[in-house]
């Protein structure tokens, strides 16, 4: 039986985030993801900006681990852990808080010039760092997130897309294609 669309999206996100393919997301995976995007953006690894992004990443990691009801000292989660965690949180205020934080962290990572808008170029760099290199897929993903079609992803559009990615069941939702095609 094919899993529901929401579960498939979460599994897709997990596979992209599990950079060394060992079936676990560790703090190291998040750190590698951060390093890739910092590299793609030309940021110095020891810059204050990267330190701030790393702090946000660590905070997000702790929230996820704690929300999953796991030992806060745990340094690895499986896809089963993540799905159970997100199912437990589904439609609670804690889910709103976690997804809001994920959306804000994602926005800060992607908005390279910090002007509060994500351009197509900024978006493409971020998806490229996530392992998505097909320009047609990146264009389609951008168009879906840019709900009002002004060629800019606003904070609100980013938040709507991230929330839809982790919460929505609709294959036509604004976040459904955020990380490319979901199998
Ligand atoms: Ca920008
Ligand atoms: Ca827009």
* Res 162: pLDDT: 94
Q: Per the domain annotation, does 100 fall within a domain?
A: yes
Q: Per the domain annotation, does 177 fall within a domain?
A: no
Domain hosting 117: range is 5-167
Average pLDDT per consecutive 10 residues, the chain (183 residues; last block may be shorter) = 85 89 86 84 85 81 72 76 86 88 88 94 89 92 96 97 94 92 88
Q: Per the domain annotation, does 116 fall within a domain?
A: yes
pTM value?
0.85
Q: Per the domain annotation, does 12 fall within a domain?
A: yes
The CATH number assigned to the domain holding 144 equals: 1.10.238.10
Smallest-distance ligand from the CA of 123: 1
Q: Per the domain annotation, does 31 fall within a domain?
A: yes
| Pairwise CA distance, residues 137 & 79, whole Å | 24
Which tokens sit at 144?
């879906």
- What residues are paired with 25 via a beta bridge? 77
CA of 154 to the centre of ligand 1 (A): 9
Q: Per the domain annotation, does 23 fall within a domain?
A: yes
Q: Per the domain annotation, does 87 fall within a domain?
A: yes
The total number of structural domains that make up the chain: 1
* Res 157: pLDDT: 97
CA of 148 to the centre of ligand 2 (A): 5
* Res 63: pLDDT: 75
In contact, 102 and 166? CB cutoff 8 Å:
yes
Q: Per the domain annotation, does 123 fall within a domain?
A: yes
CA of 147 to the centre of ligand 2 (A): 6
* Res 163: pLDDT: 94
| Pairwise CA distance, residues 61 & 34, whole Å | 13
| Pairwise CA distance, residues 88 & 110, whole Å | 29
């Amino acid at each position: 039986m094919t899993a529901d669309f929401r579960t498939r999206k979460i599994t897709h996100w997990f596979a992209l985030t599990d950079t060394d393919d060992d079936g676990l997301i560790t703090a190291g995976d998040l750190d590698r993801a951060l390093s890739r995007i910092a590299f793609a953006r030309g940021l110095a690894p020891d810059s204050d900006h990267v330190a701030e992004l790393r702090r946000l990443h660590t905070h997000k990691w702790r929230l996820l681990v704690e929300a999953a009801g796991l030992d806060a000292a745990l340094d690895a989660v499986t896809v089963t852990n993540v799905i159970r965690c997100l199912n437990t949180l589904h439609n609670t205020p804690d889910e709103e808080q976690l997804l809001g934080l994920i959306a804000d962290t994602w926005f800060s990572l992607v908005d390279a010039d910090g002007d509060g808008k994500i351009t197509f170029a900024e978006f493409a760099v971020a998806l490229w760092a996530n392992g998505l290199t097909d320009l047609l897929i990146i264009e389609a993903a951008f168009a879906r997130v840019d709900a009002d079609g002004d060629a800019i992803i606003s904070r609100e559009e980013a938040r709507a897309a991230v929330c839809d990615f982790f919460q929505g069941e609709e294959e036509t939702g604004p976040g459904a294609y955020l990380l490319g095609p979901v199998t």
